[in-house]
Amino acid sequence: MTNEILVFALVGILIGFSKGGLGGPVPVALTVPILALFIDPQVAVVLVLPLLIFADGFALYFYWKQWDRHCIGLMLIPGLAGVVLGAFVLKDIDALTLNRVIGGLTLLALIFKIASDRLAALAYRPRKWHGYFAGLASGFGSTLANVGAPPFTAYLLLQPQMTPRRFIGTTTLFFAVINLTKAPGFFLLGLFDVERLLSIAWVFALIPPAVMVARYLIDRINQQVFEWMMMIPLFVLSVHLLLSNVPANG
């Protein structure tokens, strides 16, 4: 029980760091794989969602109206379709398979993160269907394992004149809407365990100070070093979930 409390505390801090701008999507990508070591992976995905929605409010405050309307217009509706598809898959998938899906998607996200710096150098001609596909894949991946960032990020990085602040603002709005949309779907499909959620209500209190710490540290620590500190355990957890034959108890 003590281990589970410490893990949930870590999850709250990681979410706060990510929404405060420290480490981008990498800290959030760690949350479900960590929890899946201790509880049923389906429960892990659902329990993290209210924490993300709460933290999204802080991110929206910092980057309000700094998004790219064109990219949002292309990607949001397909993203919502991806949420619906992902919710039905999450409802019916067994714990062991979901563990492996989470491990595989997280590993792909990690590989993308390492290679992402080279995307800007590619000769690329934007097409509308690229945005539709990226939105769909992002909504689906986010719903299944909170790893919807790779296709979304890839599409944004390839856009001309995408400034860092516009990039963060667009990412913030897209995933705030996606996360909010997951909630009614999860509820209607009977995935929410209200009693379990109330038992971790204390985690919400950890998110605001974690956001503030992240905002303080952004210009004071090496972001690349911090990201690698997150990516090394992310790789280990991904491989473990892919190879493990025993699902967590939950």
CA angle 52, 57, 60 (to 5 degrees): 115
Look at residue 76 in the predicted model and tell me its pLDDT.
92
Rounded to 5 degrees, φ, ψ at 35 are -65, -35
Look at residue 208 in the predicted model and tell me its pLDDT.
93
* Any domain includes 182: yes
* Any domain includes 208: yes
Look at residue 1 in the predicted model and tell me its pLDDT.
60
Look at residue 248 in the predicted model and tell me its pLDDT.
55
Look at residue 15 in the predicted model and tell me its pLDDT.
92
Domain ranges, residue 197: 2-243
Cα distance between residue 33 and residue 233, in whole Å: 10
Say how many domains are in the chain: 1
Rounded to 5 degrees, φ, ψ at 26 are -65, -45
* Any domain includes 191: yes
Helix (H) or strand (E) holding 25: none
The pTM (predicted TM-score) of the whole model is 0.80
Contacts of 29 (CB under 8 A, 6+ apart): 106, 109, 110, 146, 147, 149, 234
Look at residue 79 in the predicted model and tell me its pLDDT.
92
Burial (0-12, 13-18, 19+ Cβ within 10 Å), 3: exposed
Dihedral sign computed on CA atoms, order 79, 85, 88, 94 = negative
Which candidate, 124, 170, 129, places its Cα nearest to that of 25? 170
Burial (0-12, 13-18, 19+ Cβ within 10 Å), 131: buried
| Sole residue written with tokens 């897209």 | 174
Question: To 10 degrees, what angle do helices 164-188 and 149-157 make?
Answer: 150
Polymer length in residues for the chain:
250
Cα distance between residue 165 and residue 143, in whole Å: 25
Look at residue 178 in the predicted model and tell me its pLDDT.
92
* Any domain includes 165: yes
Which candidate, 195, 173, 183, 218, places its Cα nearest to that of 24? 218
Dihedral sign computed on CA atoms, order 23, 120, 57, 235 = negative
* Any domain includes 250: no
Look at residue 193 in the predicted model and tell me its pLDDT.
81
* Any domain includes 249: no
The tens-digit pLDDT sequence of the chain (250 residues) is 667 889 999 999 999 988 887 777 777 878 888 888 888 888 888 899 999 999 999 889 888 988 889 889 888 999 999 998 888 888 888 777 777 777 777 777 677 667 665 655 555 566 777 778 888 888 888 887 777 777 777 777 777 777 777 888 888 899 999 999 998 888 887 878 888 888 899 999 999 999 898 888 877 777 677 667 767 777 777 777 777 665 555 5
* Any domain includes 63: yes
